[in-house]
Amino acid sequence: MSMKWNSVLLLLQLSCYFSSGSCGKVLVWPTEYSHWMNMKTILDELGQRGHEVTVLTSSASIHVDPNKTSTIKFEVYPTSLSRDAFDAFVLMVVKKWERIPKDRIWLHLSEMQEIMWDFSDCMRNMCKDAVLNTKLMRKLKESKFDVVFADAIGPCGRPTVLLETMAKAEIWLIRSYWDFDFPRPLLPNFDFVGGFHCKPAKPLPKEMEDFAQSSGEHGVVVFTLGSMISNMPEERANVFASALAQIPQKVIWRFDGKKPDTLGANTRLYKWIPQNDLLGHPKTKAFITHGGGNGVYEAIYHGVPMVGMPLFADQPDNIARMMAKGAAVRLDFDTVSSTDMLNALKTVINDPLYKENIMRLSRINHDQPTKPLDRIVFWIEFVMRHRGAKHLRVAAHDLNWVQYHSLDVIGFLLACVATVIFAITKCCLLCCQKFAKTGKKEKRE
């Protein structure tokens, strides 16, 4: 399936209390890390437009913070898993994913299946803590929500129930767009809203701005491998630092670990960086990234060519797409040498084709009839106004497994073919018997 699970948002219509011109009640089932950061952009917009937004989250949530001042309401339910245990579990899954061998397909598939089952079991247990909480369920039912807004990567339910839930989704909002994706036939209840979180750059902190300006005509390289990579192996950090020390550009590197011994004077380390603002800075020449969806789209939005070092999940696919469009070079995190990294940076910075290609994608991203965030809000309100979007759903969702795969039709056709073959064979045998009897009679005469 070409559409990636971690790029999907679902809208499920619940009730009919919303009317045109009024504000609706939205129940949100979020996930963690960058997915929550993405979703919160939408929820804040809904809140600003007067909708009542309630986020259902567990006490083990890592990034969903109910204590922050916001127009969003939070419904926190207790779970048997602690926050530290959940965080450790997620990081364990990520590390196992990173170590999966890529050159042995059957081993790769078996280990991927194991990871998916572990993740599903954890999500199912947390889901049970919510569903079996009768007080919580009664409160949600009495709240009379108009729509459920959910991230498809962390749905609530068993595999069979999950498939049924997916079939009931009124609208699918895909965090991608045609600057990034490739054309293919799609259903009318799909809308591509990639880059909805992107926005014009804000001024950098003074110290960071001064450092960027000191780069002169050479500019700046931004380096980050995302929020889930905290403990980079010391050997890898030294390889990267050695390569970065050899380029004329200044480097802003998000890094939380022991300072590399080979770190050059042109490189500064930060535990956190304003990624969108840096990518939108006029001095930025290249972006070294793990290929996460948010970072890739911010690079497209601001027109910055990439050096990709994908680690897991959809990241290899994201970088492959950028390579196919001539906007990125790929390196392997585990095996790349300082020379490889140096050459890759020189390529994307000095070869004008990479800048031209990423700017072409950026123009496509900006040239839309309506902003992606506005389309997301429109579809949420559309589902509430019309009590769903059944007229956009394909009838295939209402077919059982046999009907969907046309097994009944195939069986009927095979039966017809078998009947014809049987009849022809029978006729041939009868003819042969008749001719054989005639021949024997003539010999006796």
Q: Please, is 62 exposed, middle or buried when counting C-beta atoms within 10 Å of its C-beta (0-12, 13-18, 19+)? A: middle
CA distances from 137 to 11, 30, 53, 183 (A): 20, 17, 17, 42
The candidate with the shortest Cα–Cα distance to 197, out of 285, 304, 278, 295, is: 295
SS3 63: coil
Residue 261 CA to residue 238 CA, distance in Å, equals 6
Give the tokens for residue 201.
Answer: 């750059």
With the CA atoms of 167, 169, 170 and 176 taken in that order, what torsion angle do they form, in degrees rounded to the nearest 10?
-110
| Euclidean distance between CA atoms 134 and 176, whole angstroms | 38
Which of 115, 64, 152 is CA-nearest to residue 313? 115
> At what angle are helices 34-48 and 372-385 packed, to 10 degrees?
70
Q: What share of the chain is helix, strand, coil (3-state, %, to 5)?
A: 50, 15, 35
User: Alpha-carbon dihedral of residues 340, 344, 346, 349, nearest 10 degrees?
Assistant: -160
| CA angle 303–358–316, rounded 5-degree value | 105
- Tens-place pLDDT, residues 346-363: 999 999 999 999 999 999
Q: Which of 305, 293, 385 is nearest to 347 (CA)?
A: 305
Residue 7 confidence (pLDDT): 55
Mean pLDDT comparison of 75-84, 105-114, 396-405, highest-scoring range: 75-84
Residue 354 exposed, middle or buried by CB count within 10 Å (0-12, 13-18, 19+): buried
pLDDT digit string, tens, across residues 282-313: 999 999 999 998 999 999 999 999 999 998 88
Tokens found for residue 326: 């001539």
Question: Does residue 330 sit in helix, strand or coil?
Answer: strand
When mean pLDDT is compared across 250-254, 315-319, 340-344, the lowest value belongs to 315-319
pLDDT at 178 over 90: no
pLDDT of 135 reads 93
* Residue range 13-29, pLDDT digits in tens: 554 445 445 688 999 98
Per-residue model confidence as pLDDT tens digits over 370-380: 999 999 999 99
DSSP string, 41-56: HHHHHHHHTT-EEEEE
Q: Which helix (H) or strand (E) holds 8?
A: strand 8-13
Helix segments in 147-291, DSSP class H: 159-168, 206-213, 234-244, 275-279
**Phi and psi of 148, rounded to 5°?**
-105, 130
- Tell me the sheet residues that pair with 11: 149, 171
**Contact 147/13 with Cβ under 8 angstroms?**
yes
Distance CA 251, CA 267 (A): 5
Closest CA to 279 of 372, 345, 358, 333: 358
User: What are the distances in angstroms from CA 120 to CA 7, 114, 150, 280?
Assistant: 17, 10, 16, 38
* Mean pLDDT calculated for residue range 107-130: 79
Would the pLDDT of 414 be above 50? yes
Among residues 374, 386, 301, which one has the least CA distance to residue 45? 374
Q: Residue 225: pLDDT above 80?
A: yes
The whole-angstrom separation of Cα 298 and Cα 118 is 32
Give this prediction's pTM: 0.83
Scanning the structure block, which residue is given the tokens 């839309």? 368
DSSP-derived 3-state class of residue 4: coil
Q: What is the pLDDT of residue 15?
A: 46
For 136-172, the pLDDT digits (tens) are: 999 999 999 999 898 877 666 555 555 666 677 889 8
Residue 276 has a pLDDT of: 95
Q: Is 34 helix (H, G, I), strand (E, B) or coil?
A: helix
Spatial contact of 6 and 153, defined as CB atoms under 8 Å apart? yes
Whether the per-residue pLDDT at 53 is higher than 60: the answer is yes
